[in-house]
Amino acid sequence: MFIVVAAWKRGAARITLIRMLLNLTVESTLGAMPIIGDFAHVAWKANRRNYNLLIRDQRSQRRHTWQDWLFVIGACLVMLILFLAPLVLLIYLLKIHRPLY
């Protein structure tokens, strides 16, 4: 979070801050899973990604790119799917296993 706060204080674009927070969310969510989490920490490296985003934001005239928006929209869609999947599965299981009165 230190890098995100530093980016916020330096006036980074909102989309960059959102992307930084999503990087941290992905790493901590995957990192909470046994075994997969170890690989996620090694592969994802959210702090390095966030540092590179901060440097890019400070150097460029154009504050954000279409890749930033694509990442944010994609991450939001994945989170929505992960949120709705258990509900859809529950409804499906309840319809299949109706009591026979």
- DSSP-derived letter for residue 61 is S
pLDDT of 87 > 70? The answer is yes
Residue 101 pLDDT level (bands cut at 50, 70, 90):
low
Model pLDDT, residue 20: 93
pLDDT of 21 > 90? The answer is yes
- State the virtual CA torsion across 65, 66, 67, 73 in degrees, nearest 10: 120
What is the distance between the alpha carbons of residues 19 and 17, in angstroms, rounded to a whole number? 5
pTM of the model: 0.72
Encode pLDDT of 27-70 as tens digits: 888 888 888 888 888 888 898 999 999 998 888 776 667 888 89
What is the distance between the alpha carbons of residues 94 and 101, in angstroms, rounded to a whole number? 15
Handedness of CA 36, 37, 39, 43 (dihedral sign): positive
Delimit the domains of the chain by residue range: 2-96
